[in-house]
């Protein structure tokens, strides 16, 4: 049996060879940065949100990323249309429920999307996962006020209830479908000082899903790849501006052998 | 009595300790860059503009930033809703009237917001301030064609008329509520070659307002902090791309002692 | 007769002296990056898309850039309004038909804009040009799957049919109005790993059009300038993050003499 790190390395090569189109309906804050993340990694991003275009666009895609970071009702409608078409075509869908728990609109939109679309992976921070699990405490805006460990307790149950894989990022990332659970090391505290790092993790999960239909493995692989970029970028780093630029450089430079030998993925 | 520089230094520490949520309804151009500015400085940004969400979001916030840089009527309506809720809750509001004077829509939207919402600080460039004061000359797009000195003449009267603090940025920044006037040194001409530097100054004013309810002091403190980041970033700097990355690094690295000893704030 | 490189160098100086306002109705992904490109180059960008503002804004502008990268019907309507006003005032218009061929909406919007507005230059990648020429093959998202050479065959006919200049970017850029054809060297493969490089080329074509009404020459000049920035930025470059930052630095630093002596423009 191949190890998860071995598979992640193979998936990274597949990603660079196939250059899958990743269709994003995402927030205004990160459109540029997550497009750059996907390009640096070797994928081909497209951002398209018009309700009368998303079905055509997702038909060309290897994965669909739905991110509610600056949502309105209109955008959520387009996400549902795109998501259903993706389901019809077998295109895997990743959901980033940005700020779920912070406002009623965000929690409701996340639930609506999870009800209307068959989502392969929910990539979220701990507070968002707790909000989706019905936790009473509010998220403070879009930054997590809980640890991944806190979220990990409710994740297997939530994953089974939702019928999808849940990937929570934090000091250690945790990925589970309720049966198999993987932990992913890597990353760096500077990630908390750059906007859209969670969203970046999400699009890389999408890119890995485009080449690997094992959603737990694909999510762990995308997170390990991003975590390694963060770890390498943080070396002798003067601050968050430089850090992010180096993350993009690293996503471009990290080889399959680098990812394999990092050994970031382990069974929980 | 503490000096303004001393107070700014203290506010910077308070900001990093409290990590206040700064709710932005802002333009598409700067959403990413001002989110990064707030994160690097130690605050927690959120961008949310849906009319059916902004009241919930601003209820979690320490400050609200309204920026009309890529306005439509719909966005201005959401700004009014958010601004009134902020007033109700005592959350300070900063307005950046981007391009006021350039088009009728921008001048009218600025006036509508100032009429409907109790704004703590207007952060603007000189041309925008002159437009708000009823000056006949048009702004050329969103870049100022006037000096801060020209604006300074009309500012005390305008501040009293509007009942708020006005902060104009330029070679020397000027902040006044019509009674107390402070000048802020620092910054660098390279700021004129990067988009959204004015908007970045505005969000830092918002972040300082979240920890200091003296709006003249908070505005001066935010501008001094940003000016120091610009001054330090400009050293041996090869151009505007590198400059901005270093500004983000500096916002993360500047200590309270650095800000105090810069001594950028003086009474006019 | 001055060479095209000589004229491009002269235009670069004119651009920095006049600092023309370039009005953009563009996509969410690149608003920040193309604003920075224009500022670094010496122009003054503004992004404004409200249908009730665009006529006022374009009246102040030296060029109008229309880019359909994240289009909706509403935005296309604003582009038509702005484009017609630009035509009325003699403000040159550049169109970037991002993703034409990928979806019906994008192909139709490009054709609608070309029908309703007198466009000076279409700046596109090869797949987009082939789509506009009625080619059957679909673009994969927004990245080209064809070479500039393939597009070059259909360009003279398409340019005559549309009555405009077409500029296709690729390993070698080609610019033609159906009579005169120029080739432009420069650039670097790393450009394919950064989002919005095509859009950046487009805005520089716009900036050069603001100071030179020979649209073939202006397009070639803008592309040569951008290509030189890319070539210089790529030296000992660790990856696409750093590359883009250096591109911005180079756009600021390249002199008229640098551009002249690069000698990137030749007759085909």
- pLDDT, tens digit, 9 for 90 and up, residues B147-204: 888 899 999 999 999 999 999 999 999 999 999 999 999 999 999 999 999 999 999 9
Residue with tokens 């209109």: A74
Task: Spell out which residues of chain C touch residue B105, defining contact as CB-CB under 8 Å.
Answer: 50, 52-53, 56
Angle at C163 between CA C158 and CA C169, to 5 degrees: 55
Q: Report the first-to-last Cα separation within chain A, whole angstroms.
A: 17
Query: Would you state the structure tokens that stand for residue A199, as one six-digit string?
Result: 């969203």
Average pLDDT taken over every residue of chain B: 95
Which residues neighbour C219 within 8 Å (Cβ) at sequence distance 6 or greater? C121, C123, C165, C167, C175, C205, C208, C209
Per-residue pLDDT band for A137 (boundaries 50, 70, 90) equals low
Residue B264 lies in a domain: no
pLDDT in tens, A73-99: 999 999 999 999 999 999 999 999 999
Nearest to B26 by CA among B206, B268, B220: B206
Asked whether the beta carbons of residue B71 and residue C60 sit closer than 8 angstroms, the reply is no
Nearest to B164 by CA among B218, B235, B100: B218
Per-residue pLDDT band for A143 (boundaries 50, 70, 90) equals confident
For residue A242, give its domain range: 4-267
Phi, psi at B162, each rounded to 5°: -85, -15
Q: What is the per-residue DSSP string for B199-256? A: HHHHHHHHHHHTT---HHHHHHHHHHHHHHHHHHHTTT--SHHHHHHHHHHHHHH--H
CA B196/CA B24 separation, integer angstroms = 14
Domain count along chain C: 1
- Report CA-CA distances (Å) from A14 to A164, B19, B176, C15: 24, 41, 60, 45
Chain Cα centroid distance, residue A112: 19
Specify whether the CB–CB gap between C120 and C93 falls below 8 A.
yes
Chain Cα centroid distance, residue C19: 18
Q: What is the DSSP letter of A191?
A: G
Specify whether the CB–CB gap between A227 and A173 falls below 8 A.
yes
CA dihedral sign, ordered C53, C58, C59, C60: positive
Q: What is the DSSP letter of C64?
A: E
Per-residue pLDDT band for A180 (boundaries 50, 70, 90) equals very high
CA B155/CA B132 separation, integer angstroms = 10
Residue B268 lies in a domain: no
Per-residue pLDDT band for B139 (boundaries 50, 70, 90) equals low
Chain Cα centroid distance, residue C186: 15
In the β-sheet with A93-96, what is the strand arrangement from edge to edge?
Answer: A44-47, A21-25, A63-67, A93-96, A121-125, A165-169, A173-176, A181-184, A265-267
Which pLDDT score is estimated for C145?
78
Specify whether the CB–CB gap between A194 and B39 falls below 8 A.
yes
Which pLDDT score is estimated for B141?
73
Phi, psi at A46, each rounded to 5°: -140, 140
Across the range A194-221, mean pLDDT stands at 98
Query: Would you state the structure tokens that stand for residue B190, as one six-digit string?
Result: 């390279």
b/e map C93-119, b = 16+ CB within 10 Å: bbbbbbbbbbbebbbebbebbbebbeb
| CATH number for the domain harbouring residue C253 | 3.40.1190.20
Length in residues, chain A: 268
Residue B239 lies in a domain: yes
Assess C15–B contact: CB distance below 8 Å, yes or no: no
pLDDT in tens, B208-223: 999 999 999 999 999 9
Residue spans of alpha helices (H) in C61-213: 73-89, 104-116, 126-132, 148-162, 197-209
Number of Cβ within 10 Å of residue A234's Cβ equals: 18
Asked whether the beta carbons of residue B28 and residue C48 sit closer than 8 angstroms, the reply is no
Asked whether the beta carbons of residue B246 and residue A241 sit closer than 8 angstroms, the reply is yes
Nearest to A186 by CA among A220, A231, A216: A231
Per-residue pLDDT band for B137 (boundaries 50, 70, 90) equals low
Query: Would you state the structure tokens that stand for residue C130, as one six-digit string?
Result: 């082939």
Which pLDDT score is estimated for B135?
67
Assess C189–A contact: CB distance below 8 Å, yes or no: no
User: Which residue of chain B is at minimal alpha-carbon distance from A245?
Assistant: B245
pLDDT in tens, B99-120: 999 999 999 999 999 999 999 9
CA B130/CA B132 separation, integer angstroms = 5
Q: How many CB pairs under 8 A join A and B?
A: 99
Per-residue pLDDT band for A145 (boundaries 50, 70, 90) equals confident
Which pLDDT score is estimated for C137?
59
Assess C57–B contact: CB distance below 8 Å, yes or no: yes
Query: Would you state the structure tokens that stand for residue A154, as one six-digit string?
Result: 């409710």
Q: For A36-50, A208-222, B137-151, C55-69, which range has the lowest pLDDT when averaged over its residues?
A: B137-151
Q: Of all helices (H) and strands (E), which one includes residue A17?
A: helix A4-18
Number of Cβ within 10 Å of residue A268's Cβ equals: 11
> Between these two residues, A144 and C60, which has the higher pLDDT value?
C60
Asked whether the beta carbons of residue C248 and residue B238 sit closer than 8 angstroms, the reply is no
Which residues neighbour A266 within 8 Å (Cβ) at sequence distance 6 or greater? A4, A182, A183, A185
- Report CA-CA distances (Å) from B173 to B4, B73, B152, C26: 14, 31, 9, 32
Residue B14 lies in a domain: yes
Residue with tokens 């002091």: B217
Q: Of all helices (H) and strands (E), which one includes residue C25?
A: strand C21-25
CA A61/CA B141 separation, integer angstroms = 38
Q: Which residues of chain C have pLDDT under 70?
A: 1, 135-140
Which residues neighbour C70 within 8 Å (Cβ) at sequence distance 6 or greater? A31, A47, A48, A49, C27, C28, C29
- Report CA-CA distances (Å) from C181 to A70, A182, A246, C156, C159: 44, 58, 40, 8, 11
Q: What is the DSSP letter of B140?
A: B
Nearest to A244 by CA among A33, A27, A32, A22: A33
From chain B residues 73-102, the ones with a CB under 8 A of any chain A CB are: none
Select from C73, C140, C240 the Cβ nearest to the Cβ of A39: C240
CA A111/CA A106 separation, integer angstroms = 9
B231 vs chain C: nearest CA distance in angstroms? 17
Residue spans of alpha helices (H) in C19-132: 31-41, 54-58, 73-89, 104-116, 126-132
Phi, psi at B95, each rounded to 5°: -115, 130
Q: Where are the beta strands (DSSP E) in chain B?
A: 21-25, 44-47, 63-67, 93-96, 121-124, 165-168, 173-176, 181-184, 265-267
Which pLDDT score is estimated for B148?
83
From chain A residues 214-233, the ones with a CB under 8 A of any chain B CB are: none
pLDDT in tens, A147-169: 888 899 999 999 999 999 999 99
Query: Would you state the structure tokens that stand for residue B221, as one six-digit string?
Result: 């403190």
Across the range B83-97, mean pLDDT stands at 98
CA C145/CA C109 separation, integer angstroms = 21
User: Which residue of chain C is at minimal alpha-carbon distance from B102?
Assistant: C57
Chain Cα centroid distance, residue A144: 15
Specify whether the CB–CB gap between B62 and B22 falls below 8 A.
yes
Assess C5–B contact: CB distance below 8 Å, yes or no: no
CA A144/CA A5 separation, integer angstroms = 27
Specify whether the CB–CB gap between B98 and B106 falls below 8 A.
yes
Which pLDDT score is estimated for C164?
98
CA B114/CA B80 separation, integer angstroms = 9
Nearest to A258 by CA among A2, A41, A5, A4: A5
Query: Would you state the structure tokens that stand for residue C254, as one six-digit string?
Result: 């390249």
Which pLDDT score is estimated for C66?
98
Mutate to test the interface with B, among C23, C28, C33, C36 (most CBs of B within 10 A): C36
> Does the structure show a pLDDT above 60 at B133?
yes
Task: Please tell me whether residue B99 adopts helix, strand or coil conformation.
Answer: coil
pLDDT in tens, B44-76: 999 999 999 999 999 999 999 999 999 999 999
């Amino acid at each position: 049996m191949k190890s998860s790190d071995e598979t992640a390395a193979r998936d990274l090569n597949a990603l660079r060879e196939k250059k899958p189109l990743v269709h994003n309906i995402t927030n205004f804050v990160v459109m540029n940065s997550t497009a750059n993340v996907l390009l640096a990694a070797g994928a081909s991003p497209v951002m398209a949100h018009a309700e009368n275009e998303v079905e055509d666009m997702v038909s060309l895609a290897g994965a669909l990323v739905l991110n509610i970071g600056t949502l309105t009702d209109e955008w959520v409608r387009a996400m549902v249309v795109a998501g259903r078409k993706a389901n019809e075509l077998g295109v895997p869908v990743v959901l980033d429920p940005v700020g779920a728990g912070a406002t009623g609109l965000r929690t409701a939109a996340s639930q609506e999307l999870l009800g209307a679309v068959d989502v392969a992976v929910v990539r979220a921070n701990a507070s968002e996962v707790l909000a989706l699990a019905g936790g009473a405490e509010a998220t403070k805006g879009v930054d997590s006020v809980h640890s991944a460990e806190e979220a990990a307790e409710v994740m297997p149950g939530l994953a089974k209830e939702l019928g999808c894989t849940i990937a929570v990022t934090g000091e250690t990332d945790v990925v589970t479908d309720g049966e198999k659970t993987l932990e992913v090391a890597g990353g760096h505290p500077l990630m908390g000082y750059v906007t859209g790092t969670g969203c970046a993790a999400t699009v890389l999960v999408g890119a890995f899903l485009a080449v690997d239909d094992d959603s737990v493995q694909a999510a762990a692989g995308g997170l390990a790849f991003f975590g390694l970029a963060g770890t390498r970028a943080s070396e002798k780093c003067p601050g968050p501006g430089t850090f992010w630029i180096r993350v993009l450089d690293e996503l471009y430079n990290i080889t399959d052998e680098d990812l394999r030998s990092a050994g970031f993925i382990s069974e929980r």
